């Protein structure tokens, strides 16, 4: 990809992310007819973490335009993307259902809370874990290569 397109790709990706965030907020305010739930702010935590993961991925395109910063930026972006996907999946699977259950019964009992262990949440958590492990391996390889020089 030519150097001129990399910042443009990052801008387009970030614009898409901001549009998705705007649509999520419109849905929560009831201005966007996607869901009957109007002001359920707890449902925004996992999507916000997913958007953060994608925003971190856009940093790779910015770093590609600068000389010498691509590899460290790639490792940081992979680490942040993996963390965002894992945290978002954890919130969607465990935290959100547990908090909804507690809010529903007036914070009196945790008995009867269920987990949302869906295939989509498991795939996102696993993909996040793989990205973090790849980033860690990249850091180790880079440190080992720097030790030879």
Residue 30: what pLDDT?
A: 67
**Token pair belonging to 16:** 């898409």
> pLDDT value at position 34?
46
C-alpha distances (whole Å) from 67 to each of 62, 70, 78, 134, 144 are 11, 7, 19, 22, 22
Per-residue pLDDT band for 40 (boundaries 50, 70, 90) equals: low
* Neighbouring C-beta atoms of residue 70, cutoff 10 Å: 14
Q: What is the pLDDT of residue 87?
A: 93
Residue with tokens 């440190």: 143
- Per residue in 46-105, pLDDT (tens digit) is 888 888 888 888 877 776 666 666 677 788 888 999 999 999 999 999 888 888 787 777
Nearest to 98 by CA among 42, 44, 24: 42
DSSP state of 40: -
Task: Tokens for 109, please give them.
Answer: 């009992």
For residue range 103-126, what is the model confidence (pLDDT) as tens digits? Answer: 777 777 777 778 888 898 999 999
């Amino acid at each position: 990809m030519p150097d001129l397109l990399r910042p443009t790709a990052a801008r387009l990706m970030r614009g898409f992310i901001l549009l998705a965030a705007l649509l999520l907020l419109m849905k929560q305010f009831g201005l966007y007819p996607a869901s009957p739930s109007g002001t359920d702010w707890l449902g925004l935590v996992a999507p916000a973490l997913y958007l953060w993961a994608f925003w971190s991925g856009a940093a790779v395109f910015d770093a590609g335009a600068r000389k010498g910063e691509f590899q460290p930026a790639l490792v940081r972006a992979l680490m942040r993307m993996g963390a965002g996907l894992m945290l978002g999946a954890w919130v969607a699977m465990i935290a959100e259902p547990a908090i909804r259950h507690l809010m529903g019964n007036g914070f009196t009992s945790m008995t009867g809370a269920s987990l949302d262990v869906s295939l989509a949440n498991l795939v996102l958590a696993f993909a996040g874990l793989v990205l973090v492990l790849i980033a860690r391996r990249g850091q180790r390889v880079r440190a080992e290569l720097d030790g030879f020089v």
